Amino acid sequence: MFKLSFFKYSILALVVLFSACTKKETAPEPVSALEIKTFSNLSAPQTGGNGQPTGGVFTRFSFSENAVVTNNNWDIAFRGTTILVNGGTQIGITDEPTRTGNAGVSIVSGTLESVTSIPNASTFVQDATAIYAIPTGSNNGWYNYNATTNIISPIAGKVFVVKTYNGKYAKFEILSYYQNAPTTPSASSVSKYYTLRFVYQPNSNTSF
Amino acid sequence: MILNRYLTLFIFFLSNVIYGQELKKENIDSLQTNQLEEVVITATRTEKKVSSVPLPILVITADDIAKTGTARLNEILAEQTGLLLTPSFGGGEGIQIQGLDAAYTLILIDGVPLVGRSAGTLDLSRISVGNIERIEVVKGASSSLYGSDALAGVINIITKKTQKDKFSGDFAYRQASFDTKDASLNLDWKKRKLTTSIFGNYFSTSGYNLDKNAILPTVEPYSNMTINPKIYYDFSENLKLFISTRFYKQKQDNRSIILGENYQGISTIQEWNAQTKLTQKWNEKITSEYEIYATNYKADEFLNNRYDQLFEQNYYNQWLFRPEIRTHFSIQKSKLTTGIGLNYETLDRTYFGNQVIFNAQYMFAQYDWTLNSKVNMIIGFRYDNHTQYKSQLSPKISLNYKINDYFAFKTSLGYGFKAPDFRQLYFDFTNSAVGYTVLGYNIAQNRLRELEAQGQIVRRNSNIDFSNALKPESSLNFNMGISFQKDKVKIELNTFYNAISNLIDTKVIAQKVSGQNVFSYFNIDKIFTYGLELNTTYLISNGLKLSFGYQYLIAKDNSVLQEIEEGKIFARNPQTLQSFKIKNEDYFGLFNRSRHTANIKIFYQIPKINTDVNLRVFYRSKYGLFDTNNNQILDNYDIFVKSYFLTNLYLSKTIKKKYTIQTGANNIFNFTNPAEISNISGRLIFLKLQIIF
């Protein structure tokens, strides 16, 4: 069968032709001595929403304690999709905690592992009147909202480097906004449950 | 009516020319036009044997069309290797060639262009296949002959012309699923020098609904009508006239649900084309063609609320007037073709401040050079001078080398462009519900100033500059292939590469007080596509033919590759949910492109019982429609539309050479994907009766 063999060879030639792309070696991610921790199911309830004014107590989180706290030693705080830092001044929203520390945040593009140095001090932002250090809204800050499925997905490659309330550093990424961090959240997934992956630098090093 | 006046003038002019001619004896060999080998005209604008055309070309004959039982152009094109039908706005279907969007293919009827791309694509179901002699598809940039829009390719629909010196015709009626009716009538009358014909077609369908829960159907019911009278008159062997006009009217239900309220209306399309061509043979070596073409495309739609009050109305009214003169010089075995012409184009539509006028002049030349019996080379260029954008010079060079009796080698390198369309230059649209604004490039500067004066603008984006005219989208196209033909086997292999630059896309130019953006159009992206196309046919025995077609395609965006290189694009690991950097191999490419498409066709003719069987299976591999993981690109971690197969079957029986009964089913296994594929309707069973007289 002339035709078949010709055909086979041409397909083979094709396969060879198109699979011969060069593969680049990527440098391995640097290994850090610091431990990567995960905090699951940080509950951040809010009242109102869906057109109603939002309210409710912000859930405060401390990186050094790896825990939700109720005292003033918090670094960031969550309510619904809104995230505050313990630094700067009041934004001007209901039930807002007073800022007692000097925290700030710098948003960096990368994987959590790839962010190894502390960004330039000028890139750190604090909350201020009508200004969110971590901007709100779909595609502005940390998440994307799909209007068809009503699913909130954290934007990939967003790393938040936090200057903590007492001047140390931490870096974190948000893995999920849903309870138990389902791989593909659905309409029945329970929202306002953050899963964070973070590294805390307890020393005064300028790197992670 | 200015156009009518032009036409009258032209006809007056014609009659003078005609009477001034010495009427020569009619050539008795006129029936010799039944060539032994298939001849095409689209590739070079002169008749040329398919085997010697140095470009990738596909010919679909009337016979090919008949043996599928299809009714509309989109259906028959969808069955060809390397042509992909993709759904566009408003339910129509556009065509993807060599991985390039439907906006980049020029559609011609008898050599003159169709207009009416209100949203970039031209709905191919507008065209009935009932009077098509053949369809020629030239793949790859062809702007060197056809100017704007011929970037991915050219599809030329050539209508039937009777050769029989008598009254003849045919009538066909096709009834199909979804209450689809298609009736066609061809009447031809030829007496020596005069050939007249009229084609009429009526089509109606009740549309279909893929999602049983949806209130509005996927495709609303519609009906349309085509009438195409033509006259050919041979004043002499050296002076031939062709006049054709085509009327098309379509009516479709228009329904919408806006904020829970029902709205109802009608959308209509009216199209008119008129072509007059005079072919004058000066002597054995020089022939001129004088062509005048005018076309109008009008679309109107409205929606009424439940109290029958007008809620929304849209209109689109485009005119094109195009005279062209071509002259062909035969120089030994070579041929020189030259042409000059002008385009006068107007558009008035909703969201335009005023009627817009485009004026362009062009000239082209092509040298079809036969070096010897083995080598044929075509060198050509076209120059387009335009009022609204930078003038374009489109060169092209191609080569055909007959290696031996069986093998031939073809290669071509050409430039293609697509001029910025009316919308990209003059759109003035503000979305009433959301509040964003889109401004055409040419009016954006002034409109922005006006909006600023009205206090609607918070800030203008920096780096926005309107001082240079918007550039046409342009491409460099390269094809290289080899063909083999011996006895019962035919194999054609072509590789292609397209590099497109200055792709026009929207960009934010300012922010409004409302927080919404103002957009305009800019030359932004660069993309490339490359791949391979393989077509084989094998005549197993008398009456049994097997064919196989395959296309491999890669289509990517250069700026995305750049960003990946810089490590700026991320995705999430589906298990751990951690972010990671997208690598080059994770990037799938442009949306709506499949890597692999293939088809297998088995045609079996049983002469004893005058029966034909034609079974076709089509495959399309997975492709992405949306960026589902929000990193703005299509990568392997997105959700893809799954690969699928479609199977079409056709059976026909001819009785007494005059009557044909055809039946069959397209999409036999009733494949549908309601959520992702809107243009695959599910199984369509048809019955068609045809009478030739």
How does DSSP assign A37-74, residue by residue?
Answer: EEEEEEE---EEETTEEEE-PPEEEETTTTEEESSS--
Return the pLDDT at B447.
92
Residue A192, token pair as written in the block = 């306002």
Distance CA B104, CA B85 (A): 13
pLDDT single digits (tens) B539-582: 998 889 999 999 999 999 999 999 999 999 999 998 899 999 99
CATH topology for the B164-692 domain:
Maltoporin; Chain A (2.40.170)
Chain A residue at shortest CA distance from B530:
A18
Question: pLDDT class for B524, splitting at 50, 70, 90?
Answer: confident
- B270-279, B394-403, B450-459: range with lowest mean pLDDT: B450-459
Q: How near does any CA of chain B get to the CA of A182, in Å?
A: 9
CB atoms within 10 A of CB B390: 16
Distance CA B106, CA B148 (A): 8
pLDDT single digits (tens) B314-365: 999 999 999 999 999 999 889 999 999 999 999 999 888 888 999 999 999 9
Torsions phi, psi for B603 (to 5 deg) = -115, 130
B538, B580, B630: residue with CB nearest A153: B630
Q: Nearest Cα to B139, choosing from B201, B206, B56? A: B56
Residue type, B131: N
Q: What is the CA radius of gyration of chain A?
A: 22
pLDDT single digits (tens) B628-681: 888 889 999 999 999 999 999 999 999 988 999 999 999 999 999 988 898 899
Return the pLDDT at B163.
86
Please give the torsion angle defined by the CA atoms of residues B205, B206, B208 and B214, in that order, rounded to the nearest 10 degrees: 150
B584 interaction partners in chain A (CB closer than 8 Å): 24
Yes or no: say if A189 and A178 are a contact pair by the CB < 8 Å rule. Answer: yes
- A185-199, B31-45, B407-421: range with lowest mean pLDDT: B31-45
B630 interaction partners in chain A (CB closer than 8 Å): 139, 144, 153, 155-156
Residue type, B82: G
B32 pLDDT exceeds 80?
no
A6, A157, A176: residue with CB nearest B577: A176
What average pLDDT does the structure give for chain B? 90
Which ipTM did the prediction report?
0.78
Q: CB distance from B571 to chain A under 8 Å? A: yes
Question: pLDDT class for A2, splitting at 50, 70, 90?
Answer: very low
| Rounded percentage of chain B residues whose pLDDT exceeds 70 | 94
Distance CA B151, CA B146 (A): 9
A18, A21, A156: residue with CB nearest B631: A156
pLDDT single digits (tens) B421-475: 888 999 998 887 778 899 999 999 999 999 999 998 988 887 888 888 899 999 9
Return the pLDDT at A150.
87
Chain A residue at shortest CA distance from B586:
A23
B491 interaction partners in chain A (CB closer than 8 Å): 3, 6-7, 10
Q: CB distance from A28 to chain B under 8 Å? A: no
Note which residues in 483-502 of chain B have CB less than 8 A from chain A: 484, 489, 491, 493
Q: CB distance from A156 to chain B under 8 Å? A: yes
Q: How near does any CA of chain B get to the CA of A164, in Å?
A: 23
A6, A112, A155: residue with CB nearest B491: A6
A109, A139, A175: residue with CB nearest B578: A175
pLDDT single digits (tens) A125-160: 999 998 899 998 888 889 988 877 889 999 999 999
A36 interaction partners in chain B (CB closer than 8 Å): none
pLDDT single digits (tens) B147-183: 999 999 999 999 999 888 889 999 999 999 999 999 9
Residue A76, token pair as written in the block = 């960031």
Q: How near does any CA of chain B get to the CA of A100, in Å?
A: 32
Do A195 and B575 lie within an 8 Å CB cutoff? no
Do A3 and B532 lie within an 8 Å CB cutoff? no
* Region B2-28 average pLDDT: 41
What distances in angstroms separate CA B303 from CA B161, B258, B267, one per listed residue?
42, 11, 9
Question: pLDDT class for A15, splitting at 50, 70, 90?
Answer: low
* Region B93-100 average pLDDT: 91
User: Cα(first)–Cα(last) distance of chain B, in Å?
Assistant: 40
For residue A20, tell me if it sits in a domain. Answer: no
Interface test with A, best of B484, B491, B570 (most A CBs within 10 A): B570
Yes or no: say if B102 and B149 are a contact pair by the CB < 8 Å rule. Answer: no
* Region A75-100 average pLDDT: 93
Distance CA B562, CA B554 (A): 17
Q: What is the CA radius of gyration of chain B?
A: 26
Return the pLDDT at A29.
52
Q: Which domain holds residue A48?
A: 29-201
Helix (H) or strand (E) holding B11: helix B2-20
Total domains in the fold of chain A: 1
Distance CA B351, CA B328 (A): 44
B579 interaction partners in chain A (CB closer than 8 Å): 110-112, 156-159, 173
Yes or no: say if A198 and A172 are a contact pair by the CB < 8 Å rule. Answer: yes
Per DSSP bridges, beta strands A169-178 and A36-43 are unpaired
Do B548 and A7 lie within an 8 Å CB cutoff? yes
Do A156 and B493 lie within an 8 Å CB cutoff? no
Query: Hey, where are the domains in chain B?
Result: 164-692
B572 interaction partners in chain A (CB closer than 8 Å): 154, 156, 175
Yes or no: say if B243 and B275 are a contact pair by the CB < 8 Å rule. Answer: yes
